[in-house]
């Protein structure tokens, strides 16, 4: 088979790495890819939001299966485009992807179907927002969320009125996130442990992936601004069998069934970003794609052929190709460019990075990297994901941090406490 993976992050390198191991694959492309995918696949210079370019490429090259990494092309309707041309593609349709594409749609959907989620109100204008903020509907802290896609940066926790007003202004008046912030949600803040609960679905049946825990804030101790994720471990230390079943029943199965009933059959990856609270799991957001960096520790634990599972999801019965998992835990720590998630510089030489990791058992997935004259350079905010899987979480994390000590680039930063919450108990 000829397979095309779309995207350029660590998630896409991890997907290429896993898909490339399938005996079904003869040729693997990645568009646009990064220096890591360039080594194991053929990079194609087409941006992931260029739906026409990707459709033309897949038609011309007779691609047998396209797998989409990021949300943008899914929310723009790439799956509908491919299907019109009878090209096989893994991911939800535009109507289904609205679960991620509009936080207001997702919130109203959850409220309609009694899926546990924090209370929120919609503001259509700065005046609406002001009215909500000056009522006694919410106490501080609260969360202000842009309705549309904002690269994981559109949810701002506001500790007081001043910050909330400033955030509303930045989103709705200054248009910091463009049209994505023209409508917003004002949401109750929840305390608890976060978990990423990710499943593959054929539209009716679900196949849960191993659980993971992401670490969103930029700095140690969960300080600093939210990022796309600075590291992840699998399994989530906070989801036991009972909670797992509760999440499947109350959140995942309800969502899949109700989406089908509403004429929005959801086929692909459904990712519920959860807050585990004393009152039970609550959905903070849905994503319609694999997680980044959650995919990196997940593929390290995946023993069976991912391509077979993706094909089964498209062809109609996902339960025919269940995934075999390793029982060992895994982890991933992101090395980022100083300044990320804000402004950062690119083009820094990465020292100590070879084509293959020198440390046995360590896998390094590239995100924002480029390759010139056999040297790797930084080319994004999240640069590398250093990953391992060992017998215990502490051995896994020791191995990862040992590997990180060999790598260096100007202004590199990373969190030193990925997985530490669990080890603290």
**Which of ligand GLY, ligand AMP, none does residue 294 bind to, with CB < 5 to 8 Å depending on kind?**
ligand GLY
Minimum distance from residue 256 beta carbon to ligand AMP (Å): 20
Q: Is 230 in the site for ligand AMP (CB under 6 A)?
A: no
Minimum distance from residue 77 beta carbon to ligand AMP (Å): 22
Residues of span 135-164 touching ligand GLY by CB under 6 A: 152
Helix runs in 135-249, H state only: 161-168, 241-247
Q: Which is nearer to ligand AMP, 275 or 276 (CB)?
A: 275
Q: Which is nearer to ligand GLY, 11 or 348 (CB)?
A: 11
Q: Which residue has the tokens 């053929």?
A: 42
Q: Which is nearer to ligand AMP, 187 or 305 (CB)?
A: 187
Q: Which is nearer to ligand GLY, 87 or 232 (CB)?
A: 232
Other beta carbons within 10 angstroms of residue 84's beta carbon come to 10
C-alpha span between 385 and 295 (Å, rounded): 11
Q: Is 190 in the site for ligand AMP (CB under 6 A)?
A: yes
Looking at the DSSP assignment, which residues form a beta bridge with residue 32? 7
Instruction: Find, among 302, 246, 313, the residue nearest to 274 by Cα.
Output: 246
Among the listed residues 232, 276, 284, 302, the single contact to ligand AMP using CB under 6 A: 284
Angle at 219 between CA 149 and CA 346, to 5 degrees: 65
Segment near ligand GLY (CB under 6 A); pick from 274-282, 284-292, 314-322, 379-387: 284-292
CB under 8 A, 24+ apart: contacts of 236-239: 236/195, 236/196, 236/211, 236/212, 237/213, 237/393, 237/421, 237/422, 238/193, 238/195, 238/213, 238/276, 238/422, 239/195, 239/197, 239/211, 239/276
Q: Is 294 in the site for ligand GLY (CB under 6 A)?
A: yes
Segment near ligand GLY (CB under 6 A); pick from 123-131, 171-179, 288-296, 371-379: 288-296
**Which of ligand GLY, ligand AMP, none does residue 105 bind to, with CB < 5 to 8 Å depending on kind?**
none
Looking at the DSSP assignment, which residues form a beta bridge with residue 393? none
Q: Which residue has the tokens 């997935």?
A: 365
Residues of this chain that bind ligand GLY (CB under 6 A): 152, 214, 228-229, 287, 291-292, 294
């Amino acid at each position: 088979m000829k397979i095309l993976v779309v995207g350029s992050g660590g998630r896409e390198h991890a997907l290429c790495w896993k898909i490339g191991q399938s005996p079904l694959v003869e040729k693997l492309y990645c568009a646009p890819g990064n220096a890591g995918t360039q080594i194991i696949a053929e990079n194609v210079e087409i941006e992931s939001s260029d739906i026409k370019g990707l459709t033309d490429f897949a038609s011309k090259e007779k691609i047998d299966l396209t797998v989409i990494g990021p949300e943008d092309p899914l929310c723009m309707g790439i799956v509908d485009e491919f299907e019109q041309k009878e090209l096989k593609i893994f991911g939800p349709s535009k109507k289904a992807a609205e679960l991620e594409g509009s936080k207001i749609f997702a919130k109203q959907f959850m409220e309609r179907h009694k899926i546990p989620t924090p209370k929120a109100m919609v503001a259509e204008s700065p005046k609406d927002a002001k009215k909500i903020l000056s009522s006694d509907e919410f106490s501080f802290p609260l969360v202000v969320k842009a309705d549309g896609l904002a690269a994981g940066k559109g949810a701002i926790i506001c500790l007081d009125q001043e910050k909330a007003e400033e955030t509303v202004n930045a989103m709705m008046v200054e248009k910091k996130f463009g049209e994505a912030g023209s409508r917003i949600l004002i949401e109750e803040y929840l305390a608890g442990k976060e978990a990423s609960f990710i499943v593959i679905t054929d539209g009716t049946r679900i196949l849960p992936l191993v659980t993971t825990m992401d670490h969103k804030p930029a700095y140690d101790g969960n300080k600093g601004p939210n990022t796309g994720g600075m590291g992840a471990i699998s399994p989530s230390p906070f989801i036991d069998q009972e909670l797992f079943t509760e999440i499947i029943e109350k959140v995942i199965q309800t969502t899949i069934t109700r989406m089908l009933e509403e004429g929005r059959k959801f086929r692909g990856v459904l990712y519920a970003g959860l807050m585990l609270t004393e009152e039970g799991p609550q959905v903070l957001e849905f994503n319609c794609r694999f997680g980044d960096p959650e995919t990196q520790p997940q593929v390290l634990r995946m023993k069976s052929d991912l391509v077979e599972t993706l094909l089964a999801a498209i062809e109609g019965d996902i339960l025919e190709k269940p995934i075999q998992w390793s029982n060992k835990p895994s982890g991933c720590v992101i090395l980022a460019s100083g300044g990320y998630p804000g402004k950062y510089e690119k083009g820094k030489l990465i020292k100590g990075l070879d084509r293959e990791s020198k440390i046995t058992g360590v896998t390094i997935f590239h995100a924002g990297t480029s390759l010139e004259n056999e040297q790797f350079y930084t080319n994004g905010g999240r640069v590398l994901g250093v990953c391992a899987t060992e017998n215990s979480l502490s051995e896994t994390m020791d191995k990862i941090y040992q590997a990180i000590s060999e790598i260096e680039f100007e202004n590199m930063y990373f969190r030193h406490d990925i997985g530490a919450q669990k080890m603290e108990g």
